[in-house]
Structure 1
Amino acid sequence: MDSNGISDLYASIFSGTSGLIVLAFYILVVIGLWKVFTKAGYPGILALVPFVNVIFLVKIAGMSGWLALLYLIPIVGFIFGIFVAIRMGERFGKGGLFSFFLLFVFPYIGYLILGFGESRYRQV
């Protein structure tokens, strides 16, 4: 595939309906994260900045914000994402199954449940 074909592929992926769907999911995650950050005592506006929100998710999970750099390492980032989701669920009183499926696999649903639900943030 030549470079023009690749740019056409990217243009078709990130335009039209698929671009709107990605934007809708991003907005859902930001709304949920805003409420989660507020419950945890952080300013909700931090949810709008893409890498900053990951740093504060790691902090809410009870770890150092510097560990968010582990997301940049391919396989380690995937495993660390699962670990952060489970630790974050524990902080809000949720079990491992909820944390894995609704905070790691389907975060646009899980963060809305944590943010708008009755669960409370507990600092351990």
Structure 2
Amino acid sequence: MNAVILLSTANTVAQAGVLMIGAGSLLVAGVITTALWKTFEKAGEPGWAALVPIYNTLTLLRIVDKPWWWVLLLLIPYVNLIILVWVLNLLGKRFGKTEGFTVGLLFLPFIFYPQLAWGEATFQRPAQPAV
């Protein structure tokens, strides 16, 4: 009888742990998406674009002045890592941040995207070359 109770208790604890991890993941994803929405608006793009898969990547590429076909590069294993770091670096630069901020965007996005969104950083479009 005690073994059944212990097994039942362990099963309940495991289910609660899975539920907490799932809820935490949803919370982190919500924070990043909301921050991306505000970041897009700061850059002069529609905020709702953060909610649409693939279109949010196209919008991000537009913000950092890269062509649409870079989305295809993001589909190639290993190349996508280089392109991701490059795009995040350019995003940080557009807001006047350093390479250290790029590392933060890459490894701690739930902290650094809100800093872009609600911090004092302002979007800076690069100077257009004279024609």
Mark yes or no: TM-score above 0.5: yes
> Which amino acid letter does the alignment assign opposite residue 96 of structure 1?
E
Give the alignment's Cα RMSD to 1 decimal.
1.5
Select 1:89's aligned residue among 88, 92, 115: 92
Matched, 1:17 2:20: yes
> Which amino acid letter does the alignment assign opposite residue 95 of structure 1?
T
What aligned pairs does 1:38-117 form with structure 2 within 5 A after superposition? Answer: 38-101=41-104, 103-117=105-119
Deviations 1:14-73 (A, max 9, x none): x62222222111101111101100011111011111322122112212211221221111
CA–CA distance in structure 1, aligned partners of residues 103 and 58 of structure 2:
19
Pairs aligned (count)? 110
CA–CA distance in structure 2, aligned partners of residues 109 and 82 of structure 1:
17
SS of equivalent to 1:50: coil
- TM-score, normalized by length of structure 1? 0.81
Structure showing greater Rg: 2
Identify the residue that residue 120 of structure 1 maps to in structure 2.
Answer: 122
SS of equivalent to 1:65: coil
Over the matched positions of the two proteins, sequence identity in percent amounts to 36
CA–CA distance in structure 1, aligned partners of residues 19 and 94 of structure 2:
39
CA–CA distance in structure 1, aligned partners of residues 111 and 57 of structure 2:
17
Structure richer in helix, relative to its length: 1
Which consecutive residues of structure 1, in runs of 5 or more, have no partner in the other structure? Answer: 1-11
Greater RCO structure (CA 8 Å; 6+ sep) = 1
Which consecutive residues of structure 2, in runs of 5 or more, have no partner in the other structure? Answer: 1-14, 127-131
Q: CA deviation at 1:75?
A: 0.3
- TM-score, normalized by length of structure 2? 0.77
